[in-house]
């Protein structure tokens, strides 16, 4: 089905809002933790467990259900997932114990995991070849705008005035509305290689591992997600406890970084349609390394506006996610395995970058200081740089159908 330009823009908007809502629901438990502590008898370890169980379940389901969507279609997986995570967000507001919340957030991770791989597959499949990077960048950037900028303000304001239970209900409501709109307005995408849905055997799914680019994307995704979590978890503590700044100053600086992630997350993937994925990844890896270097430079805290400006123009993390976890994997494998490739890379990144790396960073920070996790983030940026050098270029602006890159076999 060929969509008109107006219809394509509407689909892109709905996917943008839906992915942002997924991140809103995932991050809400972190922002609402201070309000839940007394009611659910939480401590810092339990709060970490809630985030961890969501991430682990997300990692597994994004691969399994992404692969399922390659077989049975995108809508049949995405629509139930959207309604499920929205309802589970509501249920988060009625739990009466830590154990109940742990179960609900685990189920929410299972429901939200498929949304990433399937939404990104639809975005890539419905874009014109010359606009793949631009469209994926737009949708991925919703995580920064809605999940990292709007979500903390929205959820805490609701919690302050109506309680944390009401905040979970508010967070879950947009998903129901967007699910209905997607059901009505977003058709099953036509695959660019003309392939129809077909029976896929286990060997077909495992074939994504025969591509060198997929292994490199897994490594690069671990690097960028490690950077994301080390910075977002430990930067507020470093800025306040080591750099000696106030909590509001930390919020100002990180807010500038978050808004920069939204802007650069759209610019660089679009630019990669013209200069290539490899060049864009290399440039962005240098930028995110520069952000951490600036954060570690004590003299820069004498001019907070300058430091905020540096944070804004260097936070290219969302652009790296768009390329490393969506564009390069889907342009590497046959189109019939697009969601499987996204799911495979995402699963590895979630297990190592989002779960193991912050735990290791926290343990090292406890023993050696809060600068250590930031040096780990620099290591993650270095991994992205090296992967960018080694990747096989996948951008093909003149191709109507992207052919898979050669495998390692």
Do 379 and 150 contact (CB within 8 A), yes or no?
no
Kindly state the percentage of the chain with pLDDT values over 90.
54
Query: How does pLDDT run across 143-189, given as a tens digit for each residue?
Result: 888 887 788 778 888 888 899 999 999 999 999 999 999 999 998 88
- For residue 260, give the nearest of 346, 152, 148 by alpha carbon: 148
Please count the other Cβ atoms lying within 10 Å of the Cβ belonging to residue 403: 13
Do 23 and 143 contact (CB within 8 A), yes or no?
yes
Common-topology check for domains 5-190 and 206-390? yes
- For residue 10, give the nearest of 105, 121, 126 by alpha carbon: 126
- Confidence band for 399, pLDDT divided at 50, 70 and 90: very low
Please count the other Cβ atoms lying within 10 Å of the Cβ belonging to residue 226: 27
User: What's the rounded Cα separation, in Å, for the pair 25 and 90?
Assistant: 10
Please count the other Cβ atoms lying within 10 Å of the Cβ belonging to residue 401: 12
CA dist list (Å): 233 to 19, 48, 288, 330, 354: 22, 11, 16, 30, 11
Please count the other Cβ atoms lying within 10 Å of the Cβ belonging to residue 9: 12
Query: How does pLDDT run across 308-348, given as a tens digit for each residue?
Result: 999 999 999 999 999 999 999 999 999 889 889 999 999 99
pLDDT reading at 291 higher than 90: yes
pLDDT reading at 371 higher than 60: yes
Please count the other Cβ atoms lying within 10 Å of the Cβ belonging to residue 172: 23
User: What's the rounded Cα separation, in Å, for the pair 361 and 370?
Assistant: 9
Q: What is the pLDDT of residue 198?
A: 56
- For residue 39, give the nearest of 134, 142, 165, 149 by alpha carbon: 165
Query: Does the domain at residues 206-390 carry the CATH identifier 1.20.1250.20?
Result: yes
Cα-Cα-Cα-Cα dihedral of 8, 181, 183, 143, to 10°? 70
pLDDT reading at 249 higher than 90: no
Can you tell me whether residue 93 is helix, strand or coil? coil
CA 166-170-174 angle, 5° bins: 165
Higher-pLDDT residue of 25, 382: 382
User: What's the rounded Cα separation, in Å, for the pair 255 and 148?
Assistant: 9
Give Cα 70 to chain centroid, integer Å: 20
User: What's the rounded Cα separation, in Å, for the pair 88 and 168?
Assistant: 9
Sketch the domain layout of the chain as residue ranges: 5-190, 206-390
Sign of CA dihedral 318, 221, 216, 200: negative
Q: Tell me the mean pLDDT in the region 195-218.
A: 80
Give the long-range contacts of residues 35-42, CB within 8 A, separation 24 or more: 35/156, 35/159, 35/160, 35/163, 35/164, 35/167, 36/101, 36/164, 39/164, 40/95, 40/96, 40/97, 40/98, 40/101, 41/97, 41/98, 42/98
User: What's the rounded Cα separation, in Å, for the pair 131 and 11?
Assistant: 14
Token digits for 258? 């978050």
- Confidence band for 12, pLDDT divided at 50, 70 and 90: very high
Please count the other Cβ atoms lying within 10 Å of the Cβ belonging to residue 323: 31
Query: How does pLDDT run across 69-108, given as a tens digit for each residue?
Result: 988 989 999 999 999 999 999 999 999 999 999 999 999 9
Do 405 and 392 contact (CB within 8 A), yes or no?
yes
Work out the mean pLDDT of the chain and round it to a whole number.
88
What letter would DSSP give residue 370?
A: T
CATH architecture of 5-190: Up-down Bundle (1.20)
């Amino acid at each position: 089905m060929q969509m008109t330009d107006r219809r394509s823009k509407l689909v892109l908007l709905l996917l943008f809002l839906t992915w942002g809502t997924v991140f809103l629901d995932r991050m809400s438990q972190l922002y609402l933790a201070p309000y839940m502590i007394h009611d659910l008898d939480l401590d810092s370890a339990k709060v970490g467990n809630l985030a961890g169980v969501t991430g682990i379940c997300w990692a597994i389901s994004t691969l399994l259900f992404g692969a399922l969507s390659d077989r049975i279609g995108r809508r049949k997986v995405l629509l139930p997932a959207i309604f499920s995570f929205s309802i589970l967000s509501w249920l988060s507001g009625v739990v009466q114990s830590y154990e109940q919340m742990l179960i609900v957030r685990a189920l929410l991770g299972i429901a939200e995991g498929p949304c990433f791989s399937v939404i990104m597959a639809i975005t890539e499949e419905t874009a014109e070849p010359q606009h793949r990077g631009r469209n994926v960048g737009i949708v991925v950037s919703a995580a920064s705008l809605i999940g990292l900028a709007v979500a903390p303000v929205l959820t805490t304001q609701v919690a302050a005035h109506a309680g944390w239970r009401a905040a979970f209900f508010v967070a879950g409501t947009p998903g129901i509305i967007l699910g209905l709109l997607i059901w009505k307005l977003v058709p099953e995408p036509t695959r660019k290689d003309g392939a129809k849905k077909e029976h896929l055997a286990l060997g077909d799914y495992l074939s994504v591992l025969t591509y060198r680019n997929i292994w490199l994307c897994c490594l690069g995704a671990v690097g960028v997600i490690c950077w994301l979590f080390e910075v977002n978890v430990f930067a507020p503590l470093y800025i306040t406890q080591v750099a000696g700044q106030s909590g509001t100053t930390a919020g100002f600086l990180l807010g500038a970084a978050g808004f920069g992630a939204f802007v650069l997350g759209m610019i660089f993937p679009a630019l990669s349609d013209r200069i290539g994925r490899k060049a864009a990844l290399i440039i962005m890896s240098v930028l995110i390394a520069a952000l951490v270097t600036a954060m570690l430079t004590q003299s820069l805290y004498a001019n907070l506006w300058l430091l905020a400006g540096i944070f804004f123009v260097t936070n290219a993390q969302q652009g790296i996610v768009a390329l490393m976890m969506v564009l390069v994997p889907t342009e590497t494998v046959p189109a019939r395995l697009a969601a499987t490739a996204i799911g495979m890379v995402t699963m590895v990144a979630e297990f190592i970058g989002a779960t193991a790396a912050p735990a290791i960073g926290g343990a090292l920070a406890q023993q050696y200081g809060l600068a250590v996790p930031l040096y780990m983030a620099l290591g993650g940026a270095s991994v992205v740089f090296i992967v960018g050098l080694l990747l096989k270029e996948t951008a093909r602006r003149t191709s109507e159908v992207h052919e898979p890159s050669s495998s390692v076999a």
